[in-house]
Amino acid sequence: MIGRALTRPPRVPSQSLSRAASRRLSHNSSKPRHDPPQAHEPPDHRRSWFWTAQRLSNFVVIPAAILYCVFFADYGESEHVFSPPRRWLQHQRDAFFSLTPEERKLADKK
């Protein structure tokens, strides 16, 4: 019995079906298959450049809004979470637009 099982050819999926099931399958295969109904989606009327522009604007608009909120938006005179970054920016601005003591000495000599 074991030797017979080893010599038996492997079953193919169509052989494993009952006769009635295989008849139904062969009968239905001649009919065109219809996919299950899905929600009708209208064709996309936007051009391909729209998606590129949208992605680029996301990379520009969102960081610009964040920078504005952190450094320039008015939250009142009291201390708030963005006060340290604003003090840092003010220090950088002052350092950029002012002269060091050595530069002042050089400017006074001329």
d(CA 28, CA 5): 33
Range of the domain at 88: 49-109
pLDDT at 62 over 60: yes
pLDDT at 37 over 70: no
Predicted local confidence at residue 18, as pLDDT: 64
Is the distance from CB of 71 to CB of 86 less than 8 angstroms?
yes
- Summarize the confidence of residues 7-31 as an average pLDDT: 57
How many domains does the chain divide into? 1
* Summary mean pLDDT of the chain: 79
Strands (E), the chain: none
Assessment of whether the complete model's pTM goes beyond 0.75: no
Confidence of residue 3 (pLDDT cuts 50, 70, 90): low
Residue 99 lies in a domain: yes
